[in-house]
Amino acid sequence: MIYSREHINGDVRLIAEVAVIGSGAGGATIAKELSEAGRRVVVLEAGGHFTREDFNLRMDFAATNMYWYGGQLITLGTPMFVIPQGKTVGGTTTINSGTCLRMSHSVLKRWHLEHGLWDIKDEELALYYAAVEEYLFVQKGDPEVLGKNATLFLEGAKSLGFSGGILPRNAKDCEGYGVCCFGCPTDAKQSANISYIPDAVKAGCDVYTGVTVDELVLQGGRVTGAKGRFAGGNGNGSPGPTIEVSADVVVLAAGAFHSPRMLLAQGLCNSSGEVGRNLTIHPCSPTVAVMDEKIGNPKGVPQATYVDEFADDGIMLEGGTVPPLGVAMNLPYKGRRLAEFMSGYPNTAMFGGMLSEHCSTGTVKLHPRDRQRYVITYNLRGDDVRRFRFMTEIMAEVWFRLGAKSVFTPTVSFPDMLPSDLKRFKRQKPKASDYIAVSAYHPLGTCRMGDDPERSVVQHTGETWDIPGLFICDGSIVPMSLGVNPQLTIFALAMRCAGFVDEELEKLAGRQAGGRESSSDLR
């Protein structure tokens, strides 16, 4: 069952085999796999439980209710990035675009060579990927519902000789309502809230929502549970009831920000000093083109097509449409110019690009005054700045090829680029500070996996090096930027991790049985 604050009348004490903290791609998969294997699983989720009935296509509703910090999560550094992260059952899978791409063979080879993760084999991972893809109905979008925005850009890119295609997504019978990032209103997107979590619940898992976990409980060096609190008392500002789960195994799956934050707050699992470090994100740059024809955004699939011509250089272009509110909020214009641009919204087309960093990384540190919060520092550096700029150039080039009258870029120097500006833009020296109001996605790496306890936080199994029984399974363990959207990889890794958790429970049961036998022998 999925419980919320309304179901709870007092403090809650539970006993489970597995306590999972977080219900996103990592936590939901673990919960489903282990519940279906007959394990007693309890999930603690910080966000609320929203369903299709609640998803009203409104960006402001989604930001306020289903995004961490109302969508105001930003990095400190140059430039500052807004990083949308889901705070709801299903985690970020509920509010993402649904793109499901496997990581490339070369990235896995780098995991092997740079992090010693030889135990994660190509063939094994391919099986997990295939299982997840089948379960989530991953398929390329129906060309009839992709929308003009996506097909137009792809057409322009191909006319320049760029490679690209239609993105595979975890969507079934998608009719292109254009609001994946605010919760799918028809349940077409197979996010964890409508797939893994319901199946976990069907198999006996209990999910407690609106719970902030304060403490991982340790006994004799081993994790034995988690303690937290429901948000809000009786609406009078008093703290909510407490919840304590005693468990044989705890799986931390709170995402690349909250997982390290929780460990740092308690000073756990950091013998390597790597907790909170090695943050990679995908810095993204949008372009908005003003076209002669009506485009019809946001109707269609927001992230429907891609251009991977420059993928070897870490540049991936993926469509990304947003409703009028999203465009207006990010425009540099004010006054008459804002109204003029926005009244032309039906004729605007959008596309975004994301960068895999080569030399920029960030950190997640505890907030100096609030242990429940964190500070993210991140600076775009060196060649990444050039490539970030190059990404904007490519997209502007495509739009102008398609006859765009002007292209909005999130730069201070060329916010509104005319075709005649492109050469000057290309000549200008790229500066990170030139970018404002940019966003980033896919935070990874802050509790990274590896074969060396001095350079990593968890083993290839997901179990932490420092605390037996404590597993981490979310984007934080992915040791480097994937170059593609990471949800499919996190689902696949979680499925793999579930097997090791099950093994750990088996071992533990064996030890306990052995212990009982020894005790009886003694008697």
Partner 1 sequence: MVLRIIEDTVRAMTPHVLGTNTFPDLPVPDPEASVELLRDWLEKGIPEFGTVTTAALLALNLYSLANNGRTLPDCNFRAQASLLERLFKRKGSLTYGFFYIVSMPIVGAYYARDDVQKTLGFDVVALKEEAERRVVSRTASLPKNEPGEELTESAGTL
- Residues in contact with partner 1 by CB under 8 A are 52, 56-60, 64, 69-70, 72-73, 137, 172-177, 185-188, 190, 194-195, 294, 296-299, 323-325, 328-329, 332-340, 342-343, 345-346, 412, 415, 433-434, 436-437
Provide the minimum distance between the beta carbon of 255 and partner 1 in the complex, in angstroms, as a whole number. Answer: 17
Which residue number, 54 or 466, has a Cβ lying nearer to partner 1?
54
Rounded Cα distance between 459 and 30, Å, is 17
Provide the minimum distance between the beta carbon of 324 and partner 1 in the complex, in angstroms, as a whole number. Answer: 4
Which residue number, 174 or 470, has a Cβ lying nearer to partner 1?
174
- Return the SS3 of 506: helix
- Return the SS3 of 264: helix
The answer to whether the beta carbons of residues 355 and 314 sit under 8 Å apart is yes
Provide the minimum distance between the beta carbon of 288 and partner 1 in the complex, in angstroms, as a whole number. Answer: 13
Which residue number, 153 or 414, has a Cβ lying nearer to partner 1?
414
Provide the minimum distance between the beta carbon of 298 and partner 1 in the complex, in angstroms, as a whole number. Answer: 6
Tokens linked to 82: 């807004």
User: What's the distance, CA 111 to chain centroid?
Assistant: 20
- Return the SS3 of 144: coil
Which residue number, 56 or 512, has a Cβ lying nearer to partner 1?
56
The amino acid that residue 48 corresponds to is G
Provide the minimum distance between the beta carbon of 227 and partner 1 in the complex, in angstroms, as a whole number. Answer: 25
Which residue number, 270 or 321, has a Cβ lying nearer to partner 1?
321
Rounded Cα distance between 483 and 498, Å, is 25
Using only C-alpha atoms, the chain has a radius of gyration, in whole angstroms, of 23
Which residue number, 96 or 356, has a Cβ lying nearer to partner 1?
96
Provide the minimum distance between the beta carbon of 60 and partner 1 in the complex, in angstroms, as a whole number. Answer: 4
Rounded Cα distance between 434 and 425, Å, is 12
Provide the minimum distance between the beta carbon of 486 and partner 1 in the complex, in angstroms, as a whole number. Answer: 23
* H helices present in 162-229, as ranges: 196-202
Nearest CA-CA partner of 215 in 227, 201, 203: 227
* Strand ranges (E), 128-279: 139-140, 164-166, 168-169, 206-208, 211-219, 222-230, 242-252
Any bridge partners for residue 439, and if so which?
82, 284
- Return the SS3 of 265: helix
Which residue number, 55 or 208, has a Cβ lying nearer to partner 1?
55
Provide the minimum distance between the beta carbon of 418 and partner 1 in the complex, in angstroms, as a whole number. Answer: 16
Which residue number, 242 or 413, has a Cβ lying nearer to partner 1?
413
The answer to whether the beta carbons of residues 85 and 376 sit under 8 Å apart is no
Rounded Cα distance between 411 and 409, Å, is 5
Any bridge partners for residue 264, and if so which?
none
Which residue number, 177 or 208, has a Cβ lying nearer to partner 1?
177
The answer to whether the beta carbons of residues 155 and 349 sit under 8 Å apart is no
- Return the SS3 of 520: helix
